[in-house]
Amino acid sequence: MHTTHVDWFFRFCSIFLIASLVSLPVFAATLCDKLGALEADPSAVSAPVAFQDINSEALIAACSAEIANQDDDLPRYLLQRGRGYLRDGRSELAIADISNAHELGYPAGTFGLATAFFLGDDVQRNDLRAEQLFIQAYKGGVYWAASVVR
C-alpha cells in the first residue's frame, strides 16, 4: 500500500486535532457552582442560578467545603457562598465573602460588591464607590456592569 502526501496530511491533521483537544483545560463544576453560579460571572463554570432559586443552606455548605480546599477557584466560591448568605439574610457574612472575592481580584466579586453599594440593601449606599467598582468589574470582563454605569 502506497502512502500519498494527502494521506500524510490527513494523519498529521488528525493527530494535531486530537492533541489540541486533549490539551484543552477542563473545568469541572462543583456542587457550589451548580447551586450558586452568578449569571453575570464570566468565569462561571455552571448554569446560572437565579437569586430567588438559591437553596441557601445547601449552597453555604457546599461552598464552605470547597473553600476549605483553598484552590485557584477560591474567589468564585467566596462569591457564591456570599450569595447564599445574602439569600439567607446574613448580610454581614455575605458582604465579607463578596469583599474577599473582590480583594482577591475576582471581577465578578467586584461586580457583586458594586451592586451592594449601588442598592444599599446590605451596606450603606455609596453611588461613587459603586460606579468605581462597576467600571473596575467591566474592565475585568463583567460586561453586565456596562448596563449600570452611565
Digit-coded pLDDT (tens) for 40-89: 999 999 999 999 999 999 999 999 999 999 889 999 999 999 999 999 99
Share of the chain above pLDDT 90, in %: 74
Q: How far apart are the C-alpha atoms of 35 and 47, rounded to whole Å? A: 9
C-alpha separations of 64 from 10, 50, 61, 67, 147 in Å: 49, 20, 5, 5, 31
Nearest residue to 56 via CA among 97, 13, 87, 25: 87
Q: Which domains does the chain have, with CATH numbers?
A: 23-147 (1.25.40.10)
Torsion angle of C-alpha atoms 96, 62, 105, 136, degrees rounded to 10: -80
Nearest residue to 45 via CA among 4, 7, 79: 79
Share of the chain above pLDDT 70, in %: 81
Per-residue confidence (pLDDT) for residue 66, from 0 to 100: 97
What's this model's pTM, rounded to 2 decimal places? 0.80
Per-residue confidence (pLDDT) for residue 149, from 0 to 100: 67
CA 104, 112, 68, 66 dihedral sign is negative
